[in-house]
Chain A
Amino acid sequence: MNQSMRIAFRNVGRQKKRTVLLAGAVGLGFFIITLSGSLLGGIAASARKNFSAAFGGHLYFSGSVVSDRGSEIAVMADPGPLESVLAAHARDIASIHRRSGTSGTLIFGTRELRQTLTGVDFGREPDFAGGLRIVSGSLDGLSEPGALVLPEDAAERLGVRTGEAVLFRASTVHGQRNVTELVLIATYEGQSSFGVSAGYAGLGTVNSLLGLGPEEFQTLNVWLRDDRAIDAAAGRILADLAGKVPVEPREDEDPMKRMAERLLGGSGPRSVGDGEGWEGTRYGLTTLNDLMAQFTSILSIADALSFWVFLILLSITMVGILNSYRMVMVERTAEIGTLRALGLQKGGVRDIFLWEALFVSLYGALAGLAAALAVMALSRAAVLPGGTVLSFFLDSGRLPFSVDPIETVRNLVLLCAASLAAVSFPARAAARLPPAAALRAAY
């Protein structure tokens, strides 16, 4: 073992109080950044999971055609080209689902409620039922025509109970008024506060409401294998698609609004202007990231804030380290002289200081990390009340924590680098002490 490192390692235990204070300050910073980073990361992951569950995938390919009367009709009339491109990207894709959807009004007695309704091909999506947390009723009759599953709070506001029939009024893809009778078979725990809690019915049921044939659909929802690679996968697929068929430009509008217009048929078909038209099916793509952009930017602001807090704590700690090691240098002047007399080079003296600060930082960081992990474990034991805005960010009602090893290592490296930078001043001063003068200092 390197001798400077060995001496430094032993030195850490010499002034226990000072070491505890310094490591404590370092640890506090590391505790805060680890805890906040993990919480924000956990929230992002939970929200991503909950959002993708609510929207049913990571990539949402829509199709639209121009009608005889010049309106944009939201239907994937010819999914062939898209499906063949998706098949070429099978490596990235976990599953693909056909969906239709609309936004309309639920009517029960004299009560009305705006609600989005998503048509799911339950036969081709056997796992769908497992993703919902059922509050009342059961999903046994899911494949029956007219079966409806609603978020619990929507059913409550409407005053409808499972087994009862409701009316759903909406527009067809062409904008014609339509109404259908649905029977509520189950309610699930949703988060209507985010406007993403859909009601679910069979694809055929929703299609007939939309004026589409039983086998038609509006969107192909793609679940990717890696939900962190959404943009990359979207880019690759779109690039392949763009050469073959009409593709809607992605940058021109607010994605949330576009999603609402396109997938939920909110305000009926749009008129296609002269010269704007296209032949056959035009494909559009909205991604989970598009929909979460606003949320993600809020998270990244929070992330940046907590990083700044970490940096501020870090710089305070650095000043502490700088001053402490100046004092250490004075206290150990004679010892430094001795080490130099015995044959330790200047660099060796410097290294003792650097190693020592590094050990203190590592101890502090480890303590901070351990404390953060302990707090995470403790708070995960508590289940928060569901059904609130908060629950969308939680992981089954628990505070979500996701320790990002890369980020943790980055923070650790940053912390160590900062400590080394801070201690380098007293370290260099110590190394430059003339041995004779150093030896004259009182031991």
Chain B
Amino acid sequence: MVVLTDVTLPTEGVRIQQPQVSAYFGENCVGQGTLTIAESAVAWVERTSGKGFTLTYPSIILHAVSTDCSSFPHECVFVLVDCSRSALELEDTEMDGDDDDEDEGPKNVSIRFVPADMSILQEVYKQMSECQELNPEDNSDSEDGMGEYEGLGDGSDGRWFTADNIGGAELSEEGLANLQRMMGGGRDGHNGSNGHDDDEHGEMEE
């Protein structure tokens, strides 16, 4: 279970501030309060105590809209958080039963936001997606210390590639490194200085 703490609510770039949202850690409700989706973070503050928690976007592995009530009895916004990258304070580690083996590996925690007003689920999802775009990885903690983002307009422009425009896909360095890893290429994820906009093919030397 999470330890609720004093939260400094983001004041800038607030996309959504929704009262009457219940927060669940795993299956356990920690109360009802106000959910804030801001460009810098997601925050939830319990109504009576005024305490809550904050999630930065890099710590959010996945967010989703769940309308399937077979595994959890409410429609919700589901958020999977990488605890090793978040400031969440967890009381004890028996969450969710997901992975019971006490590996020393990073622990993920499932958080569900259940609003009284279900009509906002899609909007919360959409705004969180947009805010994820605004918060790429911090280079200082990337494992291979790849270059800066300067000069790379691509990636951070909030553009999404669908079947209609994928031909012009431009990946940022982070995107390319991710793609290479996903495709099993480049074991050490090395990528050179391919800051070109038009052609992404050369330059993927090992």
Question: Do A and B actually bind?
Answer: no
